[in-house]
Amino acid sequence: MSAPAVNTNLIAVITPRQAWHYRVVPAQAVNGSMSFYADRESAYAGLPDELELLTGKSIRIEKIDSITIQQLLEQYYENEQADARQQNVFYQGSADGFLQHLISEARQLKSSDIHLETFEEKCRVRIRIDGMLIQRYLLDKQQYPSLIKRNGFRRMAGFILSRMR
């Protein structure tokens, strides 16, 4: 099988860090939309939405095998050493302790915002670092309501929680 076609003019649309993080490579752009090759093993339902936020374009994902995406990533993007700020962490402890830890950590990492996102079985906590949303924690979904319903969350964070899903 031949290697998938990649429009090399699109490589700069995402940074190497983003390409390796999402395990995607831009394929082509047509009429204001883009298609990306994505690792079949790590692609997830929300990936097009995240790439749309990064690129400002409508996104279509073409899933390809892990070996091929690895080869494309190595060919087109330098693999930067993992930034310690991007490490995924599993937190165990009380909700109050977690909130204090999360806000302190976000400030220390110079994060501009914190995202709490629920999915079918998990809650993902992402923080924005240098303009890029990084998944930082993965929690059981049942922990989510106890986190956001704490009256102290807004006060501790120093901002207004604009949306609850």
What would the pLDDT profile of 37-92 be if each residue is shown by its tens digit? 999 988 888 899 889 988 889 999 999 999 999 999 999 998 764 554 445 555 55
Residue 156: C-alpha distances to residues 96, 121, 129 (Å): 10, 27, 20
Buried b vs exposed e over 115-131: b needs ≥16 C-beta within 10 Å? ebeeeeeebbbbbbbee
| Domain annotation covers residue 3 | no
For residues 90-101, average pLDDT: 67
Q: Phi first, then psi: what are they for 40, rounded to 5°? A: -55, -35
Shared-domain flag, residues 68 and 98: no
pTM for this prediction: 0.51
Please tell me the total count of domains within the chain: 2
Shared-domain flag, residues 114 and 92: yes
* Residue with the larger pLDDT of the pair 29 and 105: 29
CATH (domain of 107): 3.30.450.90
* Nearest residue to 129 via CA among 105, 111, 146: 111
Domain containing 21: what range? 8-76
Shared-domain flag, residues 65 and 98: no
